[in-house]
Structure 1
Amino acid sequence: MAGAEAPGFYSEAILLLGGAVVAAPLFKRLGLGTVLGYLAAGTVIGPILGLFSDAESILQVAELGVVMLLFVIGLELKPQRLWSMRRVIFGLGAAQVGITGLVLAGLGLVLGGLSPSAALVVGFGLALSSTAFALQILEERGEMSRAHGQKSFAILLFQDMAIVPLLAIIPLLAPGGADAAEMSATGFALAIGAVAVLIASGRYLLNPLFRVIGNTGAREAMIATALFVVMASAMLMQVVGLSMALGAFIAGVMLAESSYRHELEADIEPFRGLLLGLFFMAIGMSLDLAVLAGNWLVIVLAVPLLMIVKAAIIYGLGRAFGSPPDVAVRTALVLPQGGEFGFVMFSSAVALGIFDGQTASILIAIVTLSMALTPISVALAPFLIGEEKPEEMEEDFDGADRGADVLMIGFSRFGQIASQILLSGGSDVTIIDHSADRVRAAQRFGFRIYFGDGTRKEVLEAAGIRSAKIVAVTTQKKEITDRIVELVQREYPEARLFVRSYDRAHTLELRAANIEYELRETFESGLVFGARTLQALGVSEDLATQIRDDVRKRDEERLRIQAVDGIYAGGHMLHTQPVSPEPLTKPTREAKIINTERTDASAEQEPAENR
């Protein structure tokens, strides 16, 4: 193989990855966002330099990024939360699609000279915004959980659902379209059946499947299973004519209350980010410079007109549905662009003879440029309405985990006892553990526990570590505890760490690492056990308590000495057999106990590791 020419696939992959490596950080540094960077990279690689000509093949693969994005969004949106948003989804979302589609169709009829059928396809095709662009921008800016972020998401979700009837209507608008009515009705029935199958599978099959895979401990198998679920659900929807993204979203919602949701999100996230970047680059590569040059005046006038009309309608509807002015403006500035589903509708219209390919090319150029201008429209918000007010924050999609007081990693016996104290005190606790059996058993007792590997940053992010007030590491194995502590201190230096230590030496290591609080797993239980044994031997409860507290105090002093002088220092602080000189009178039992404060320096010390 030495000296052989590299296959075209590898050359293209290196070209695309190189463009992403250069453009995304550069545009992010300039404050323009990675989406615009990917678009620019695709435009340079494709239309300008001509290094890549088959953008369509890349786009087909890259659309999986949109699919995975909707799956992750679904994971964060529990069914009850989705139900609580029904007014916004089916009210505001339906009104946006209907009114915007009719208005744009009217403009196409009057200003563009289109036929009624073509005007309807163009109007409703342009009424759909870009799920990939809008959600990526909201996530980059950390605004998914804000009021305008949720309004935008609700509209986009309805648009994803609306693509089904819209695609079914296009054949009816074509010449001889009346013959397609029966076929459309059959397709609609199949679509409803496919959704029902997906919901039933998500409810009854997926959790047992992930439990079986989780018990194997094979991480690569869990990743493969996650990808299989996303792609299979998307493919099922596509087969019956629905949106692939909608299928993935439904699968995500069905797993939103699963114990495996954080692990799934962590597994999918790298693929989602990479494929979304590829999707935006493919959009940039699909720009036809010849169409732009030949119809530049039409495009230059149509793009701002489209964005202004859509933004005005969304703002008006937002105010009509009770949104404050700031929220309505921000929602309008996020969704003024055309979307990727418009490409599908325009291609279908050309195939059915509703309008020609030249018109479709102009429309695709308009949609693509409107996408490219979206980051700029979003950036205009502070100039139009000032900084966003704190009261515009709304609860996160999942409604609980992201704002938990304590993120507990590991649910062994130590963690189970500690969590009972926390929950009894009214604190919210999110627990992750890497044992599928332990997760299942804990759920029977009502604990909110999720399957996940605490040594992975992606899992900690999905579990809400950034908003947790305290991170409690209660894992059983010392080496696992150390890996988690090191990860948290490196990636989240502001996190407050409370850690279960394995033994005395481990305690000293954790203190040297500046952990806020640590506790040996058997120390306090040993103190309680010893004090209770003293009481059984006839010592009063008060005296037993005093002795227990004295031992705790001496142990703490000894730890401070050992932190400086080593593990075997501080031996004189240990309680050993008391010195017993012949007393003039026989001492009482309590006197003998008090004499334990005396120390025989020559007494043999118990190994420090056992204390």
Structure 2
Amino acid sequence: MSEPNTLFTETILLLGGAVVSAPIFKRLGLGTVLGYLAAGVVIGPIFHGLTDGEQILDVAELGVVFLLFIIGLELKPSRLWQMRRDIFGLGTAQVVATGLVLTLLTYFSGILDWRGSIVAGFGLALSSTAFAMQILEDEGDVNTRYGQRSFSMLLFQDLAIVPLLALISILDGGKGSGAPLLDFAVAIAAVAAMIVMGRYLLTPLFQIIARTGAREAMIAAALFVVMGSASLMQLAGLSMAMGAFLSGVMLAESSYRHELEADIEPFRGVLLAIFFIAVGLSIELEVLRDNGLFIVVAVPVIMTAKALVIYILCRATGSPHDDAIRIAFLLPQGGEFGFVLFTAAGVAGLMPTSTASLLIAIVTLSMALTPIGTMLAKRLLSGKEEEQLDEDFEGAGADVLMVGFSRFGQIAAQILLAGGRAVTVIDFSADRIRQASSFGFRIYFGDGTRKDVLRAAGIDRAKIVVVCTQKREITDKIVELVQADYPHAKLFVRSYDRIHSIALRNLNVDYELRETLESGLLFGRRTLEALGVGEAEAYEIGEDIRKRDEARLVLQVTEGLQAGRDMLFSQPVKPEPLVKPKRAANFDEDPLAGTAEVTADA
């Protein structure tokens, strides 16, 4: 079979494994992650459908990269600064304390000397960002307090990979890359470069592309930024995921944040699924069989020790019991960076390659057990503490999600903001976003007719969705989408005209209003007052018209557009032609048949 056909077949197997395993394991309540792992084991080690699991793992790691980019989009720099104590305080304590405990356990097990035990201990102290964040996302817990503390520790572990790789160079007596300080300086310089580029280049880039209206160019630019920043960090010795995360943070305050998240999300989901399948593919059943007894003892001991250390540290730094339990059972597994460290240590001669393979098998098995552990953790919760959401997630989670920042929407937003209510606003016009920004408004670039954009903008947590778009067909599409997929949200809709209002009422929206109604009523009142009618009398007349209009709409919804004509104030005039017709009219016809029906927007 030719190489292209082989690649095609492998892709079908991977996608087929994801399609079959995810629904089954989700239905069983075991989670999609465990399903993907099982699919990988079946496809690879059992039936040998795929044998190059490590190569697939390298490509599928882009799923972790995209995941970290999306997480970065949720954290603006000011929010990240608020998390600095958890990142550098709790994160440092977790890596150091867990590393020392696991180093001692490894050394006293007798499989490695003290140098190899240090590498093994600190390598096992790292957790899997992919597994932990996917579980948090499946549970909807990314923005909870325990979710944010978990992420803080994972973020520090990504930073710790640089000094740990430098530690291998020190322990092997300088036979590896003999300039750890230089490596550290290069990593710091790369982070600084990323921050500068993100601050001054990324937003202008997306502004230019958005003005072109080329949808595919926007997607290509998003992929270019994520993969480019990841590659830059990798060249500097940091993780690819760290680069993607930094670029996401730099774009967290951009108006294009939600659109970028929606563009990246499909790639992230598919590649992350393939990543978990590739982990299953890379499990070496021969290693498990040859060292079965040792692995059966080592995996639970390592996971238990790690969980105990994390629980104690979380409790000592202020986490309640339930949060500490959740974190401890979420992060006891080994991580992807353990593969890198153990392989590098084997090459450097700090441990035999067979031992490195054994440690990799232990890490992989601990990953597989993590979803089961998180389910068991629920049995240890006290249930007395209410889950609280972290505040200050810019643009996501407001009570009101406004789609379209038209003139109508701008006035409505003023009322809401004056009432102390937070509003998330998305609009698809780059020019309108730029104009609004110059007046201090904060709106996000996104197409409100797309489900993924609405989800990224926080519709799951919105109480009311306000649709203020200018075109009727776009408004109707958004209304149908929200009613179909987010029935919990109330719909307040700006209608185009009377006919549109009737259609919206037939769709059972919670509230609709024609843009011209209130302004027309006020305009008529002021005109009456200018003609000498008293203000109070003009107001009463206006209210009477309002009531008549509402009564007519109620009738028209059930009986048709012609209903309620008797409620209109009119001065019927029989039209006479300005020019005498050349032939007599047919008087059997209605003489008013050609006149316009004054109901379109009355």
TM-score by length of 2: 0.94
The answer to whether the 8 Å contact 1:571/1:605 transfers is no
Q: In the alignment, residue 560 of structure 1 is paired with which amino acid? A: V
Q: SS of 2:402's equivalent?
A: strand
Distance in 1 of aligned mates of 2:256 and 2:162: 30
Select 1:313's aligned residue among 294, 309, 314.
309
Select 1:40's aligned residue among 38, 41, 63.
38
**Deviation per residue, 1:442-466 (Å, 9 max, x gap):** 1222222111100011111111111
Q: 1:293 to 1:388 in 2, by over 3 A?
A: farther
Q: In the alignment, residue 82 of structure 1 is paired with which amino acid? A: L
- Corresponding residue number in structure 2 for 1:496: 490
- Corresponding residue number in structure 2 for 1:136: 134
Distance in 1 of aligned mates of 2:369 and 2:298: 13
Correspondences of 1:187-266 after superposition (within 5 Å): 187-266=183-262
Q: 1:176 to 1:563 in 2, by over 3 A?
A: closer
**Deviation per residue, 1:168-203 (Å, 9 max, x gap):** 2212211444x844x222222111111111101111
- Corresponding residue number in structure 2 for 1:66: 64
Select 2:300's aligned residue among 301, 304, 322.
304
**Deviation per residue, 1:326-359 (Å, 9 max, x gap):** 2212111110000000000111111222212101
The answer to whether the 8 Å contact 2:433/2:443 transfers is yes
The answer to whether the 8 Å contact 1:577/1:603 transfers is no
Structure 2: gaps of 5 or more residues: 574-591
- Corresponding residue number in structure 1 for 2:286: 290
- Corresponding residue number in structure 1 for 2:598: 607
- Corresponding residue number in structure 2 for 1:384: 380
- Corresponding residue number in structure 1 for 2:393: 399
Correspondences of 1:472-551 after superposition (within 5 Å): 472-551=466-545
- Corresponding residue number in structure 2 for 1:274: 270
The answer to whether the 8 Å contact 2:463/2:488 transfers is no
- Corresponding residue number in structure 2 for 1:104: 102
CA drift at 1:4? 10
The answer to whether the 8 Å contact 1:132/1:276 transfers is yes
Q: SS of 2:494's equivalent?
A: strand
- Corresponding residue number in structure 2 for 1:445: 439
Q: In the alignment, residue 534 of structure 2 is paired with which amino acid? A: S
Distance in 2 of aligned mates of 1:604 and 1:289: 84
CA drift at 1:403? 2.9
Confirm or deny that 1:411 pairs with 2:405: yes
Distance in 1 of aligned mates of 2:431 and 2:456: 21
Distance in 1 of aligned mates of 2:289 and 2:378: 34
CA drift at 1:105? 1.2
Confirm or deny that 1:426 pairs with 2:417: no
Q: In the alignment, residue 256 of structure 1 is paired with which amino acid? A: A
Q: In the alignment, residue 445 of structure 1 is paired with which amino acid? A: F
**Deviation per residue, 1:419-473 (Å, 9 max, x gap):** 1111111111110000111111112222221111000111111111111111000
Distance in 2 of aligned mates of 1:319 and 1:561: 63
- Corresponding residue number in structure 2 for 1:583: none
Confirm or deny that 1:351 pairs with 2:342: no
Distance in 2 of aligned mates of 1:329 and 1:493: 34
Distance in 2 of aligned mates of 1:388 and 1:204: 47
The answer to whether the 8 Å contact 1:411/1:475 transfers is yes
Q: 1:206 to 1:477 in 2, by over 3 A?
A: same
Structure 1: gaps of 5 or more residues: 580-600
Distance in 1 of aligned mates of 2:488 and 2:549: 29
TM-score by length of 1: 0.93
Distance in 2 of aligned mates of 1:425 and 1:326: 36
- Corresponding residue number in structure 2 for 1:165: 163
**Deviation per residue, 1:217-244 (Å, 9 max, x gap):** 2221111111111101100000111111
Residues 127-136 or 460-469, more deviating: 460-469
CA drift at 1:389? 2.4
The answer to whether the 8 Å contact 1:312/1:332 transfers is yes
Q: In the alignment, residue 235 of structure 2 is paired with which amino acid? A: V
**Deviation per residue, 1:265-285 (Å, 9 max, x gap):** 111111111111100000000
The answer to whether the 8 Å contact 2:127/2:154 transfers is yes
CA RMSD of aligned residues (A): 1.9
- Corresponding residue number in structure 1 for 2:587: none
**How many pairs align?**
584
Q: SS of 1:362's equivalent?
A: helix
- Percent identical among aligned pairs is 64
- Corresponding residue number in structure 2 for 1:7: 5
- Corresponding residue number in structure 2 for 1:572: 566
The answer to whether the 8 Å contact 2:428/2:445 transfers is yes
Q: SS of 1:143's equivalent?
A: coil
Distance in 1 of aligned mates of 2:198 and 2:104: 42
**Deviation per residue, 1:137-188 (Å, 9 max, x gap):** 11111122222212111110110111111112212211444x844x222222
Distance in 1 of aligned mates of 2:484 and 2:384: 31
- Corresponding residue number in structure 2 for 1:462: 456
- Corresponding residue number in structure 1 for 2:113: 115
The answer to whether the 8 Å contact 1:214/1:222 transfers is yes
- Corresponding residue number in structure 2 for 1:597: none
CA drift at 1:5? 11
Distance in 2 of aligned mates of 1:610 and 1:84: 52
- Corresponding residue number in structure 1 for 2:576: none
Distance in 1 of aligned mates of 2:367 and 2:279: 9
The answer to whether the 8 Å contact 1:576/1:603 transfers is no
CA drift at 1:507? 0.7
